[in-house]
Chains A and B, each alone.
Chain A
C-alpha cells in the first residue's frame, strides 16, 4: 500500500523568504501523480501544484515549485517570496495513475506560519 510521509509537523518562515516543505512517499508503481494542497484557516482545500511522475521536469506555479526526485521517492515544495497569505496547512498527496477512481493518499500535513 502507498504511504505519504511529511516529517515536519510545523514550520515558520519570515515574509519574503523562501521555505521548503518535505514529503516522501512509498509506492511500487512507476506511474502516478503527486499533489500539494493548501488548507488555510478557512479550511478550504486548495490545489497548489500537481506533478505527473512520468514527467522529469519539475512542476512550477508562480512562487511555488517542486523538487521531484523519483528514485528517492521525494517530492518537496518550495515557496519563494513567502507571503502572509501562505500561512496554512500544507498536505502532500499521492494518486495512482490511470485509475478511474482517483483516490488520494494524504500525508499528515505541515503547518506553515509566515511571520511579518
Chain B
C-alpha cells in the first residue's frame, strides 16, 4: 500500500503562535491532498481540499485565514494553524489521493497520514 507521512506527530504550543503541519506522500504522486479534523470519538471532518499549484478549497465554516494550506508539489502539502487558540486543539489528519494510472497505490483511493495531535495552551 501507499505510505503517507505527517510531521510532527504531536505538538504543544502557546496561544497566539502558529503551527505548521507537513503531509507527504512517500511513494506516489498525489493529485489531491485532504486535511481533516477529528474530535474525540467522532468521525473525520473534512476541512479543505488542495491540489498542487492551486488554492485550497475550504469546507463551509472553516476559516481560510486561520488554516492556511500550501500544496507546493505533488508529494507535499502543509497546513498552518495561525494564531492558534485552545479551541484549535484537536487531532489533524491528512490524506493523499491518487487518480489515474495504477502504480504502487490503488487508484481512486485516499491514503492517510498518521495524524498530528495539536494542543494549544
Contact = CB atoms under 8 A, between A and B. Distances in A.
Main secondary structure of the interface of B (DSSP, over half): strand
Contact of A45 (B32, B99, B106, B112): B112
A104 B110 contact: yes
Given A35-B109, A102-B32, A45 B93 contact: yes
Contact of A102 (B93, B99, B114): B99
A91 B43 contact: yes
B44 to A, nearest CB: 6
How big is chain A's contact interface, by range? 20 to 34
B119 interface: no
Most buried by A among B93, B108, B110, B112: B108
Contact of B91 (A43, A101, A109): A43
Interface in A60-116: 91, 95, 97, 99-104, 106-109
Contacts of B31: 100, 102
Contacts of B25: none
Contacts of B1: 47
Nearest to B6: A44
B111 interface: yes
Interface string B12-45: 0000000000000000000110100010001110
A101 B100 CA distance: 11
B75 interface: no
Q: Which of B31, B44, B111 neighbours the largest number of chain A CB atoms within 10 Å of its CB?
A: B44
B42 A91 contact: no
Given A91-B44, A102-B99, A103-B49, A47 B109 contact: yes
Given A42-B114, A43-B91, A45-B93, A50 B109 contact: yes
Nearest to B1: A47
Nearest to A93: B110
6 contacts: A44-B114, A95-B110, A100-B32, A102-B34, A108-B42, A109-B42
Ordered nearest first, which 9 A-B pairs have the shortest CB separation?
A45-B112, A102-B97, A44-B114, A106-B43, A108-B43, A43-B115, A100-B99, A109-B43, A102-B32
Interface of B: 1, 31-32, 34, 38, 42-44, 46, 49, 91, 93, 95, 97, 99, 106, 108-112, 114-115
